[in-house]
Structure 1
Amino acid sequence: MNDGDYAYSYLRESTITAESGRSSVRLATSGGPASHPYFFDGFVERADVVATALLAVARVARTRFYTPPGMLAAVLRAADPVVTSDGHLLRFEGFSACCGVHCRLDLLPDGLDRPPADTGTTNVDFNPPMRDALARVGGADPVHLAVGTDEVRVTTLDTSVVERRVPLPERWVKGFGDVQAATAAMSVRFETSAVALRRFLQALPPTPQRGVLYAVPAAGGLRLASRPSTGAVPISAVERLRVLDPLLRHAQAVHVYAKDSGGEAASAWQIDLAQARITVTVSPAASRGFSGEGGLLEDLADGDATTDADLVSARMAYDPAIDVPALARDTGLAEHRVRRALTHLAAAGRVGFDFETGSYFHRELPYRPETTNARHPRLRDAGALVAGGHVVLAPGEAVVRSGPTTYVVRSTPDGDRCTCAWFGAHGTSRGPCKHALAVRIARQKARP
């Protein structure tokens, strides 16, 4: 197995069948708290809503919305979606092949006829025949949903294993961290109706749009503008939002989230369904995926937070919402240290953020463990600069020697500023440069 590959092993392929006139969806699982976890076997309301929502997650996971220049053809070897059970609800998540779009479906407790049987996170098999069958599901009857197979049923299955290899699952690990950093900083910008959003999507230009455009609330709906205004949400490659269109016939409300920003920024579009929610988060630009934005790097450079993360992880459970004050009391850490520790856990894909509760939630990705530094080249390079003695601290500034060039990092009320070309091009919009990170690490090591 290559370093960038992960093998999914399934006892059998996922299937969808008709039982007593009702649809039955059986999802095969791979990895996590067990080799083939068993999370749920019961009924979910509204077969048509569940099928459409599951297809939306699968569609995002197999789509490449951006192809880098020079790549003649996109290889769509997409990773399988993951599902997390917290004992109350089921969360299905997937990233696009370019990691620029994240989709999460929450099947809520009032839409499940019983609580999930166990907690944990696992991959689920979304094979082509199953997707084709989901597309034919209709009607308002409940749908039977099985996520995994209990031990009794395992003994009756064929012993053959379905295995597939997929590229670069570590991109998803980084992506989950970056999405958490982006969404935790967002607030609701406006609410709209499904009819208004559908008209907005239907009115989009037929060709991909370059640069930053803005979704603006207007009388009777939404409009697309080239300049920011009050309440406007920036969005690049707006055509990516078309993944929402099949969901809108089932939508009860639409909530749009973003940071208060006048330039490129991520946005999240939450669709409320019957006993479910689905959220699509799009990156600041088509060429800027969620697999290396750098929004976590400042916190990751804090060595104390690594130790704090181990302590918080030991106390963290699969509760519907992570209670930061409660974790602070249990661990004896200040709340800001708990939040910084959660950033470390998010960088490993173990923490997400939920708009509805305004809090973090717990997941455990079934990927092979990798070091944080290996997934973040800037952090790795910063550590090497410090270890090599290439950082000289002075009051209010620092000098960093990187190769044949020397850079100056100055402290300002708005954060560290560096004389390197990377900082000149991006500022702090993609996290700190490696020189600023090196200075942060060196300052911490120099503390008495």
Structure 2
Amino acid sequence: MSEVVLAYDRPSRLDGGVLGLGRAGDSGPLPFFDGFAARPGLVAALLLAVAAVARSRYFQPSAARLLDPILTSGDGRLRLESFSSCCGVYARADLLPEALTGTRAAPGTTNVDLNQDVRDALSQLDDRDELRLSVGADGLTVVTRATAAFERKVTLPTRWIKGLGEAALAQAGMQVAATAGPAATRRLLTGLPPAGPASAPPWALVAQGRELRFRQAATARAPLVAGPFRLREMRPLARYALGLTVWTRPGPGPRSTAFQLDLPGARLWLVLSPDVTRGFSGEGQALGVLADPGTVAAASALRPALAWTSRLDETALAASAGVTTGRLRQMLAVLGSQGLVGYDLAEQAWFRRDLPFAAGRVPTLQPRVRRAAAISAPDITVQPIEGGHEVFVRGRGFAHRVALAGGDACCTCLWFSRHGDSRGPCRHVLAARAHVAATSSEASAQPPAAPAGRPNYQETGS
């Protein structure tokens, strides 16, 4: 009697209501996305634009090393994402169902390195050609009438994982600041300021009738865009443009700005950081929730409830988890910091990615969280004040004063004096908030002993 042993390409699993079955045999893993482009020239140009952003370094240009677009399939569509090598530009191309024919679009995510041979093949396509894309856990296959090429899966850069969450938080809460039609979009992209130090400071995006123009002089109510030359990767797609929508967060001064280029059956997004010198991976807007072990644990428990859809229903998710919508958004911020969810401004909703989640990686990915956790309770002294708390956090032989009032905080450290709260809280604020939250109201009401001598409020670092 002979014995037959079957080897499966991956474990079968039920994730968010979607059943993924492993396959036996030697035919190789089944791709989770397989389909033809309805407009090959347009889809090829989108692939090349996202890859061009990954190859670019807009701050201190040099040879780029991060060339790995992320591809996510699900809900009948394919998303391609990347960051610039300086991490200051986030790019995303959404191929909607109408852009794809004969498509198999099961849930899945991978990231690949588009080499020169693939880019050369894509650059020669137009809408009269044929383009087939096959995406699986092992990589990407591109097939044209002239050639076929396979790109293997590569390791996702840690910096990108951090940047994915920060870019999503930057977009959540944005509002429409300006719009342009097809012709005005082409003229705006054709007339971008040239790259260079003179173009790095913020420019005002001014509406003049139906036109949009970048102006160096600040204008009331006009959004400020740092380094508008970073939009240059949109130029090859301008001929397909149906319109442009500009999104930004309300408030004065330079802020992250999102440019949505509408195309037939697709969208291209470029999200620019508030300054050419700033990368999304260091923005730190998620640090407050990442420093709370309870929120991190709740987010880990929420992950199985995420459905594979282009639009996560916050109300339904909050109800199933038994939390408020505000609490749910904190949990989504944690998942976003691990790259598990992103934010879609066009849908005004979060969407799902399939990346591994490990709560234990948070301190590794976020050094400020790790440093705050290393500050021991005896080094923190809390005094209640009107409307909040005054907290002294001892450092290297001296202490910093942290003032907490509701959701606002300030610190006397050098990090806060340089950045305020624009780059997320410093480690002293994180430690102070965690200590106050862990202390009972009865204990907090008792004024602790004052620190010996007058604290010296000087220290570098965050």
What is the TM-score of this pair, normalised by structure 2?
0.81
Report the CA distance shift for 1:110/1:204 in structure 2 as closer, same or farther (over 3 A): closer
TM-aligned CA deviation for residue 162 of structure 1: 7.5
* Native 8 Å contact 1:270 1:277 kept in 2: yes
Report the CA distance shift for 1:37/1:284 in structure 2 as closer, same or farther (over 3 A): farther
* Native 8 Å contact 1:87 1:119 kept in 2: yes
Report the CA distance shift for 1:163/1:205 in structure 2 as closer, same or farther (over 3 A): closer
* Native 8 Å contact 2:111 2:154 kept in 1: no
Q: Given the alignment, which residue of 287, 294, 312 partners 2:302?
A: 312
Separation in 2, partners of 1:394, 1:37: 61
Mapping 1:386-405, distance limit 5 Å: 387=376, 389-395=378-384, 396-405=389-398
Report the CA distance shift for 1:110/1:343 in structure 2 as closer, same or farther (over 3 A): same
Mapping 1:173-322, distance limit 5 Å: 173-208=161-196, 209-322=199-312
TM-aligned CA deviation for residue 112 of structure 1: 2.2
- The residue identity in structure 1 corresponding to 2:185 is L
Tell me what 1:444 maps to. 437
Deviations 1:416-447 (A, max 9, x none): 11111211111111111111111111112114
Separation in 1, partners of 2:343, 2:306: 15
Is 1:416 the counterpart of 2:412? The answer is no
Mapping 1:34-433, distance limit 5 Å: 38-67=31-60, 74-140=62-128, 143-148=131-136, 169-208=157-196, 209-365=199-355, 371-385=361-375, 387=376, 389-395=378-384, 396-412=389-405, 415-433=408-426
TM-aligned CA deviation for residue 393 of structure 1: 1.3
* Native 8 Å contact 2:289 2:296 kept in 1: no
Higher relative contact order (CA 8 A, sep 6+): 1
TM-aligned CA deviation for residue 381 of structure 1: 1.0
TM-aligned CA deviation for residue 146 of structure 1: 2.2
Query: How many pairs are equivalent?
Result: 401
Tell me what 1:8 maps to. none
Deviations 1:277-324 (A, max 9, x none): 111111111110111110111122222211210221121121221111
1:440 alignment partner, SS class: helix
TM-aligned CA deviation for residue 43 of structure 1: 2.1
Separation in 2, partners of 1:123, 1:370: 23
* Native 8 Å contact 1:89 1:116 kept in 2: no
Unmatched tracts of structure 1, length 5 or more:
1-32, 68-72, 154-160
Larger radius of gyration: 2
Deviating beyond 4 angstroms after TM superposition, the runs of 4 or more aligned structure 1 residues are 33-37, 161-166, 366-370
- The residue identity in structure 1 corresponding to 2:39 is R
TM-aligned CA deviation for residue 400 of structure 1: 0.8
Report the CA distance shift for 1:447/1:360 in structure 2 as closer, same or farther (over 3 A): farther
Report the CA distance shift for 1:173/1:370 in structure 2 as closer, same or farther (over 3 A): farther
Report the CA distance shift for 1:315/1:105 in structure 2 as closer, same or farther (over 3 A): same
* Native 8 Å contact 2:50 2:92 kept in 1: yes
Deviations 1:380-406 (A, max 9, x none): 111111x35321111121111111231
Unmatched tracts of structure 2, length 5 or more:
1-21, 142-149, 442-462
1:389 alignment partner, SS class: helix
Deviations 1:134-153 (A, max 9, x none): 11101356633322399xx9
State the Cα RMSD in Å.
2.7
Tell me what 1:157 maps to. none
- The residue identity in structure 2 corresponding to 1:314 is P
What is the TM-score of this pair, normalised by structure 1?
0.83
Separation in 2, partners of 1:203, 1:425: 34
* Native 8 Å contact 1:350 1:364 kept in 2: yes
Deviations 1:161-199 (A, max 9, x none): 977877x81100000011011011211111112332332
